[in-house]
Amino acid sequence: MADERTLAELGEFGLIAMIGEAIAQGPMPASVQVGVGDDAAVVAVPSGRVVVAVDQMIEGRHFRRDWSSANDIGRKAVARSMSDIAAMGATPTAVLVALAAPADLAVGWVHDLVIGMVTEAAVVGAALVGGDTSACDVLTLSVTALGSAADRVVTRAGAKAGDGVWVAGDLGRAAAGLAVLSRGHRQPKSLVSAHRVPEPPYAAALAAVAAGATSMIDVSDGLLADAGHVARASGVTIDLEWATLTGDSDLEAMARNLGVDAATWILGGGEDHALLATFPANANVPAAFRRIGSVKRLKSEESEEVLIDGRAAVVPKGHEHFR
């Protein structure tokens, strides 16, 4: 039975103890030398290079408790940060979480949240090793992920003219799921689940490094926006092929039902946490990827960063905070 006490009744130190017990239910990799319970965690990094990413989730903006379970929210919070680690070609090793929550939040809800975080971290053999807690009127999660880059890191800045543009994972499903939930529906499950709990292609990222990927990025802001980040960092123009982006029957059927242009979700929807990468023409690209375009030429100041079938895109270019 879920613990129905509030955080006010449990208190800060009781909450910390409960979180520690929940973390202990998950695996603890050998790289974690000191975990929860001390002033700081100690994590070994055999490669000598630490890759770090931080992401935050705020109730009402990034999630709603009436749409997603505590476990789902915990998994999503950790997946968002670990996906950034993977997109650099690194292996996530540890996660730190800062939780700010209302005093009347149920203890059982927080317990399920932590279990979700532990579960997602364990997908890649990482562990939740610490964090911080605070009282706050708005439920907020800040997740810092640590990773180790054994070989080389792959940045946004390496794409070259002649490279192919490839993607691993789904595009537009999280945005479609959000649209479904926003209209008071809970089906189809395939779309709603994509919004609730993303499934970053962690293994594909490491395979991409081995296959010689020249650039990579986590698709969190939308395909056009994130392809634009690669194009801008690399000084190139990317040309996407629309025909390679169609064919998701669930997404396209829902777009028709809601009177939405599917391109809005596929090109502009974020939070799928797919992986966009560029590879040389002769690369043995891992099977998890599908080709969706090419790097055409060096970008000039007057040219568009990302094209669709050789022409400028006319759909929203993705999420941007403060706009």
Residue 323 has pLDDT above 70, yes or no: no
* CB contact set of 303 (below 8 Å; sequence gap of 6+): 237
251 has a pLDDT exceeding 90: yes
Contact of 292 with 167, CB cutoff 8 Å: yes
What is residue 322's predicted lDDT score, i.e. its pLDDT? 41
Residue 300, classed as helix, strand or coil, is: coil
Task: Return the axis-axis angle of helices 70-87 and 107-123, rounded to nearest 10°.
Answer: 30
pLDDT (tens digit per residue) in 90-104:
999 999 999 999 999
Helical segments of the chain, H only: 7-10, 12-23, 70-87, 107-123, 173-182, 189-196, 202-210, 223-234, 249-258, 262-268
48 vs 109: which has the higher pLDDT: 109
Determine the angle formed by the axes of helices 107-123 and 12-23, rounding to 10 degrees. 30
Segment 304-311 shows an average pLDDT of: 89
pLDDT band at 7 (very low <50, low <70, confident <90, very high): confident
Count of alpha carbons within 13 angstroms of residue 11, beta-carbon side: 3
Domains of the chain: 7-148 (3.30.1330.10), 164-312 (3.90.650.10)
Alpha-carbon distances, residue 218 vs 53, 126, 275, 310 (angstroms): 12, 19, 5, 24
The CB-side HSE value for 48 (13 A sphere, CA atoms) comes to: 2
Strands 236-240 and 91-101: unpaired
Exposed, middle or buried by CB within 10 Å (0-12, 13-18, 19+), for 238?
Answer: buried
Task: Find out whether 198 and 78 touch, Cβ atoms under 8 Å.
Answer: no
Residue 19: what pLDDT? Answer: 76
- Give the CB-side neighbour count of residue 213, counting CA atoms within 13 A: 35
Lowest mean pLDDT among 25-34, 164-173, 185-194: 25-34
pLDDT at 150: 78
Q: CA–CA separation, 269 vs 252, rounded Å?
A: 14
Tens-digit pLDDT profile for residues 144-187? 999 998 778 999 999 999 999 999 999 999 999 999 999 988 88
Distance CA(296)–CA(25), nearest Å, equals 50
Instruction: Decide: 139 and 59 in contact? Cβ < 8 Å.
Output: yes
Burial category of 165 from C-beta neighbours within 10 Å (exposed 0-12, middle 13-18, buried 19 and up): buried
Token pair for residue 206?
A: 């490491």
Q: What value does the mean pLDDT take over residues 253-257?
A: 95
